[in-house]
């Protein structure tokens, strides 16, 4: 991240990162706010498209369950990465731990919210699935970041070594 004297670019990056988190949380809220029949219709449609495109002969009800749980997992994996990026952009200490806590608390509030939606119910199992998605998202981010930093260090070392003989005669 580049720092300018007036701090505008840094501030803009932080604002954009948090806006993405809020938009993603809003998307989760939108899907959770759908009545059961509307939610069922959406996941059945996705199941039919999946079966049609892959040519599988699978019971849609069976596939529907896995699509719903996979959606929980993936949506919270993405939320975790977005939240971690926003916290890191904001220079928050222990960003990984705080991202995990924020996302798991949001998963809990999401399931509680579903208790008030027609035909929906909050499930502790879904919080565990969401939390697993959060943990994997954070782990993937940490691993990829570490790999990128090691690669960057190797590249810098190679550059330093390749320039060293030419500086010897200066």
pLDDT digits (tens, 9 = 90+) for 77-133: 999 999 999 999 999 999 999 999 999 999 999 999 999 988 888 899 999 999 999
| Rounded mean pLDDT, 138-162 | 88
Q: Which residues contact 43 (CB under 8 A, 6 or more apart)?
A: 64, 67, 68, 71
Token duo for residue 40: 């069922």
User: pLDDT, tens digit, for every residue of 37-77?
Assistant: 776 677 667 766 766 666 667 776 777 788 888 989 999 99
Question: Does residue 141 surpass a pLDDT of 90?
Answer: yes
Taking CB atoms within 8 Å and a gap of at least 24, the contacts of 105-113 are 106/25, 106/28, 106/79, 107/76, 107/131, 107/134, 110/28, 110/29, 110/32, 113/29, 113/32, 113/33
Angle at 92 between CA 90 and CA 97, to 5 degrees: 130
The gap from C-alpha 69 to its chain's centroid, in whole angstroms, comes to 15
From the list 46, 141, 65, 152, the residue with the least C-alpha distance to 103 is 141
pTM value surpassing 0.85 = no
From the list 75, 84, 91, 93, the residue with the least C-alpha distance to 32 is 75
């Amino acid at each position: 991240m580049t720092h300018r004297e007036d701090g505008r670019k840094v501030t803009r990056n932080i604002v954009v990162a948090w806006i993405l988190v809020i938009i993603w949380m809003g998307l989760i809220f939108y899907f959770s706010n759908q009545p059961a029949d509307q939610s069922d219709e959406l996941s059945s449609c996705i199941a039919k498209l999946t079966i049609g495109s892959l040519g599988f002969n699978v019971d849609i009800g069976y596939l529907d369950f896995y699509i719903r749980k996979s959606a929980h997992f993936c949506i919270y994996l993405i939320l975790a990465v977005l939240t971690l990026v926003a916290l890191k952009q904001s220079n928050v200490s222990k960003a990984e731990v705080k991202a995990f806590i924020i996302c798991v608390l949001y998963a809990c509030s999401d399931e509680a919210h579903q208790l008030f939606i027609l035909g929906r119910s909050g499930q502790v199992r879904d919080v565990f699935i969401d939390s697993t998605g959060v943990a994997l998202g954070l782990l993937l981010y940490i691993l990829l970041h570490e790999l990128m930093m090691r690669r960057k260090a190797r590249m810098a070392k190679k550059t330093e070594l390749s320039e060293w003989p030419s500086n010897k005669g200066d």
